[in-house]
Amino acid sequence: MKFSLINITEQSGTLVSGYWLQDHIGTLASAHEAARATEAANGNRITVAVVAELSATTPALSHYTSRPRLDVES
């Protein structure tokens, strides 16, 4: 499966808004690991969420709103 990682700018429940960081091909579990590793690589100064793949030709400069967060920990 293909997922996208976004840098969260706003969160309301399980809905997140933010900027695209990278895509991830693999399982939800591996996408979750990639998100945590990305946070650590940035000194834990950002929060990264896994969302369904963002379909765009140039996602990097776009701000995405109200996307369901898939890596919600129970």
Pairwise CA distance, residues 74 & 64, whole Å: 24
Please check whether residue 74 lies inside any domain of the structure.
no
Segment among 30-34, 39-43, 51-55, 56-60 with least mean pLDDT: 56-60
Q: What is the mean pLDDT of residues 23-50?
A: 97
Question: Are 47 and 41 contacting, i.e. CB atoms less than 8 angstroms apart?
Answer: no
Q: Is the pLDDT of residue 73 over 90?
A: no
Please check whether residue 45 lies inside any domain of the structure.
yes
Three-state DSSP state, 26: coil
The count of domains in the chain is 1
Pairwise CA distance, residues 58 & 14, whole Å: 25
Please check whether residue 47 lies inside any domain of the structure.
yes
Cβ burial, residue 4 (10 Å; 0-12/13-18/19+): buried
Please check whether residue 9 lies inside any domain of the structure.
yes
Q: Which domain, by its residues, includes 45? A: 2-68
Please check whether residue 73 lies inside any domain of the structure.
no
Q: Say how many CA atoms lie within 13 Å of 20 toward its Cβ.
A: 18
Q: Is the pLDDT of residue 56 over 80?
A: no
